[in-house]
Amino acid sequence: MLPLTADDPRRISAHTLLARIGGGGMGRVYLGRSRSGRLLAVKVVHPDHAGDPEFGERFAREVRAVQGISGAFTAPIVDAGPTDDPPWLATGYVPSVSLAEAVHRAGPLPEAAVAYLGLGLGEALRSVHAAGITHRDLKPSNILLAADGPRVIDFGVARSFDETPMTRTGQMVGTAAYMSPEQANGHRAGPASDVFALGGVLHFALTGRAPFPGDDHTVLFRIVRDEPDLGAVPGPLRDIVRRCLAKDPGLRPAPADLVAELARTVPAASGLSPAPYPGAPAVPGQPGPALVWPPLPVRGLITERERQARYFQENARAAGPGGAGAPRRGRTRLLVTFAAASTVLVIGAAALVAAQLTGVSPWAAADGSADGAGSPGAEDGVAPPRPWDGGVDPDGLDVESAFLHIEGHDPVASLAFDPVESDVIYAARLGRLDRWPIPPAPEGEFPTAESDEQTDIDGDGDTLVRSVATAPEGGTVATSTTSGEIRVIDSSSGAVRTVAPAEGDGGFPDASQRSLEERFPDGRTVMFAPDGRTLYAAGSRGVTRYDTATGEERPLGSPVAGDAVSLHPEGTRLLVTDGGTVRIVDAESGEEAGAFDSGASGRISAVYSGDGTRIITAGSDTVVRVFDAETFEAEQELTSHTSAVIAIAASPNGRVLATADQSGLITTWNLDTGAPLLENDNQPNPVRALAWDAEGARLAAGYENSLIMVWTRR
């Protein structure tokens, strides 16, 4: 869910729009609010299609189809304007995540949960077919997983049983991977086609892939000719999926029979007996749906949507009448531990347009306090950035929040500021390396971001970028791919040189619940030494040095390897972690100079403070620990996180620490006192990267969902 951009409408009919939920080539879906305060999902047709008569009829057909359907597992229409300009429809908003996204981010669902999913989808098809409608495009992205069961959505290509087909001869409607054989052959798609698609959906939920692999032409051939590979489908559900995928429509089970069979199958899949379908009333003394639905990995994603909807709703209330109307500049007093002003910018992968969030700050004081008062700022232009510190300012912190629309969903794996041009940031987004300017935000204007140079380091777009680093004096950018290949880019000319070849494969980019190290075991973290020429690369095969001018490999005197590695600000030492142990290693010889037990459980990472006087550790046990870098004595335990801390970064002046966790919470700390300064959890999504600029005036965060946020202190 993303804030509205300047191009988005603020109202549709009587409904106020609050945020973007998603969209595609045909239109966009918004979080909306009715006059009575009810949250809605408002689907608005893209202006390019609004004047197309054929598309208009298709949209009107969707409205008619949904209005005729009732049932617990579809999304009923609340209001619609099929003949308005642009056409739109609104359904009640249910916090949920699509099956496609859930499997992409959390992996295949447990067997018992898939059985419940099948029950809900079977009930949905009973309702759809009872209304005389065939869906014709049932697929993972058209199925929402909510706390009380699934919802079937998007009836844009649905058709009444007795309706004359609108498609031209030879034109197929639907998604190739989930089409039935009769659809693939260009024949009429009846209710049995939806059952075939349901079988494909269950296969996807259980295995993470469609039953017939390949490109569209290959898939259609296999759907018609081949039997699906059900080897990865567990026993109790295999026969059901097999019969749903029968080539002959007459051999597929009817939805009512499917529901009855799944109701008997669920106990075998879950070890529970008996078990009702999702949303059914609980039976006293008997296990109910809550035990297996929603499945545990999906619960967090649903909670994420709930938090996002609540945030945008509260933001609109705080903004007063007009709520999420035209973007405007807002000031919010936050706390008394930072001075002056801060600007937050979110940047993405294409030309973007900013939208202002006002009223509710994305940052909150660590003690929970926040009010609507502003503090003095630069009224006649943009104040120059100033280093963050742990000082106290009674007037609080002035934040200007700009969110920009994003195209694509490549996770941000690594960030690095240009040391000379501090308003430029490099982002390794797992699909490419982007160079982004950070525009000024003078009073009354909005920052926008356009990529002035998008560098595809692979040339064909297939290489995943694991990490990025910039030379201290500027001019050179180093990257490592997820397969371990290291390249050096001249930031002026864009010339690319390979310094080291790949060491392995590309890892597991879709396993978003794992750490970057687990997802990309052959990827390497790159770090420049202060001389700007020596580059350290750390990965599962150990630490290696390279001369970026000559490409020469310069191995350390002794092999060095560990879970995570970081470099001292002066380039003299390396921090190497093994489980909860921290080792200090000479950066030239590789010899160990000391070691200590951090007291943490599980895997940790460690960094030096910007002045090199402290060592900070963090990891899966959620506690951030601070140690004296010489004596290894524990100084502080910082506790604000409730999930694994997966990113840490210390400001160059050694005064401020930033930490971020799996849930999306970012906390900044005063390293001298251990006091938390600011907290930000407005993006409930794992933070994969944190970075400071060379002056410590800007802090950047990169998220799993491809967002990049930059805060500038002025």
| Pair 663, 512: CB distance under 8 Å | no
Could you give the C-alpha distances from 347 to 497, 657, 694, in angstroms and in order?
Answer: 27, 23, 20
Contact 18, 33 (CB under 8 A): yes
- In sequence order, what are the beta bridge partners of 365? 678
Instruction: Please indicate whether residue 667 or residue 616 has the higher confidence score (pLDDT).
Output: 616
Q: What is the pLDDT of residue 339?
A: 28
Given a contact cutoff of 8 angstroms between Cβ atoms, the answer to whether 137 and 189 are in contact is: no
- What pLDDT score does 676 carry? 84
Q: Do 126 and 255 contact (CB within 8 A), yes or no?
A: yes
- DSSP line for 476-526: EEEEEETT--EEEEETTT--EEEEE---S----TT-TTS-HHHH-TT--EE
Neighbours of 595 (CB within 10 A): 13
Q: How far apart are CA 432 and CA 683, in angstroms?
A: 23
DSSP H helical ranges for 82-110:
99-106
Distance between CA 343 and CA 400 in Å, rounded?
A: 5
Distance (Å, rounded) from C-alpha 701 to C-alpha 710? 7
DSSP 8-state secondary structure symbol assigned to residue 186: T
Separation CA 493–CA 475 (nearest Å): 9
pLDDT (0 to 100) of residue 464: 73
DSSP 132: T
Q: Which of 122, 152, 126, 181 is nearest to 62 (CA)?
A: 152
Contacts of 695 (CB under 8 A, 6+ apart): 385, 387, 422, 652
pLDDT (0 to 100) of residue 583: 95
First to last CA, the chain: 29
Strand partners, 3: 19
Which of 268-277, 447-456, 658-667 is predicted most confidently?
A: 658-667
Tell me what percent of the residues of the chain surpass a pLDDT of 90. Answer: 26
Residue whose tokens read 């999306």: 664
Q: Is the pLDDT of residue 379 over 50?
A: no
Contact 259, 126 (CB under 8 A): yes
Cβ atoms of 677 and 698 closer than 8 Å: no
**DSSP 3-state assignment of 434?**
strand
Residue 113 confidence (pLDDT) above 50: yes
Give long-range contacts, CB 8 A cutoff, 24+ apart: 179-184: 179/220, 179/223, 180/223, 180/249, 181/223, 181/224, 181/247, 182/249, 183/136, 184/220, 184/223, 184/224
3-state SS class at 324: coil
Candidate from 195-199, 337-341, 411-415, 697-701 with smallest mean pLDDT: 337-341
If phi > 0 it is left, if psi is from -120 to 50 it is alpha, else beta; for residue 144 that is beta
Which residue numbers belong to the known binding site for ATP? Answer: 43
Q: Which of 309, 293, 323 is nearest to 94 (CA)?
A: 309
What pLDDT does 351 receive? 25
What pLDDT sits at residue 12? 92
pLDDT band at residue 85 under the 50/70/90 scheme: confident
Give the largest CA-CA distance in the chain.
81
Best CA proximity match to 549, nearest among 495, 488, 483: 488
Query: Which residues are part of a known binding site?
Result: 43
Phi, psi of 451 (to 5 degrees): -70, 110
Which pLDDT does position 393 carry in this prediction?
A: 36
Task: Kindly report the average pLDDT of the chain as a whole number.
Answer: 76
pLDDT digits (tens, 9 = 90+) for 5-34: 777 889 999 999 998 887 765 778 999 999
- Give the tens place of pLDDT for each residue, 404-438: 334 455 788 899 999 988 778 888 876 678 887 77
Across 349-362, average pLDDT: 28
Q: Give the pLDDT score at 386.
A: 63
Q: Which helix (H) or strand (E) holds 414?
A: strand 414-417
Identify the pLDDT of residue 285: 43
Look at 255 and 713; give whichever has higher pLDDT. 255
pLDDT band at residue 332 under the 50/70/90 scheme: very low
Predicted confidence (pLDDT) at residue 328 exceeds the cutoff of 80:
no
Report pTM.
0.55
For the segment 601-617, the average pLDDT, to the nearest whole number, is 92
List, for residues 461-512, the tens digit of each pLDDT value: 456 788 999 999 888 999 888 777 899 988 877 788 888 887 766 555 555 5
Provide the CB-side half-sphere exposure for 568 (13 A, CA).
17
Whether the predicted pLDDT of 622 surpasses 60: yes
pLDDT at residue 354 in the model: 26
Query: d(Cα 421, Cα 694) in Å, to the nearest integer?
Result: 10
Q: What integer pLDDT is reported at residue 533 of this predicted model?
A: 93
DSSP assignment string, 269-282: HHS-SS-PPTTPPP
3-state secondary structure of 573: strand
Q: How far apart are CA 161 and CA 57, in angstroms?
A: 17
Tracing tokens 């007291």 back to the chain, one arrives at 599
**Banded model confidence at residue 377, pLDDT cuts 50, 70, 90:** very low
Q: Rounded to whole angstroms, how far apart are CA atoms 396 and 672?
A: 20
Q: Which residues pair with 712 in a beta bridge?
A: 343, 698
Helical H runs in 616-657? none
pLDDT, one tens digit per residue, over 382-407 is 455 666 665 423 233 333 333 333 44
Task: Give the three-class secondary structure for 539.
Answer: strand
Amino acid identity of residue 561, one-letter, is A
Query: Would residue 507 be called left, alpha or beta, if left means φ above 0 and alpha means ψ between -120 and 50 degrees?
Result: left
Distance CA 114, CA 387 (A): 52
Q: Which of 19-23, 107-111, 123-127, 238-242 has the lowest mean pLDDT?
A: 19-23
pLDDT band of residue 318 (cuts 50, 70, 90) is low
Tell me: the pLDDT tens digits for 667-697? 888 888 888 887 777 677 789 999 999 988 8
User: Residue 250 is encoded by which pair of tokens?
Assistant: 């007459």
Torsion sign across C-alpha atoms 134, 139, 141, 147: positive
436-470 burial, b at 16+ Cβ within 10 Å, e below that, comes to bbbbebeeeebbbbebeeebebbeeeebbbbbbbb
Cβ partners under 8 Å of residue 244, min gap 6: 195, 196, 198, 199, 200, 202, 252, 253, 258
Q: What's the confidence (pLDDT) of residue 283?
A: 41
pLDDT at 320: 57
Q: Which residues pair with 667 in a beta bridge?
A: 659, 679
Q: How far apart are CA 69 and CA 71, in angstroms?
A: 7
- pLDDT tens sequence across 535-577: 999 887 889 999 998 889 998 988 898 888 999 999 999 999 9
| Residue 635: per-residue pLDDT | 94
- The angle at the Cα of 577, spanning 574 to 580, to the nearest 5 degrees, equals 145
Tell me which DSSP letter residue 570 carries: T
Q: Alpha-carbon distance 187 to 183, whole Å?
A: 5
Neighbouring C-beta atoms of residue 88, cutoff 10 Å:
25
Active site residues: 137
Paired with 678 in beta bridges are: 365, 668
Residue 54: burial class (beta carbons within 10 Å; 0-12, 13-18, 19+): exposed
Residue pointed to by tokens 């970081």: 566
Joined together, the tokens standing for residue 106 give 């959390």
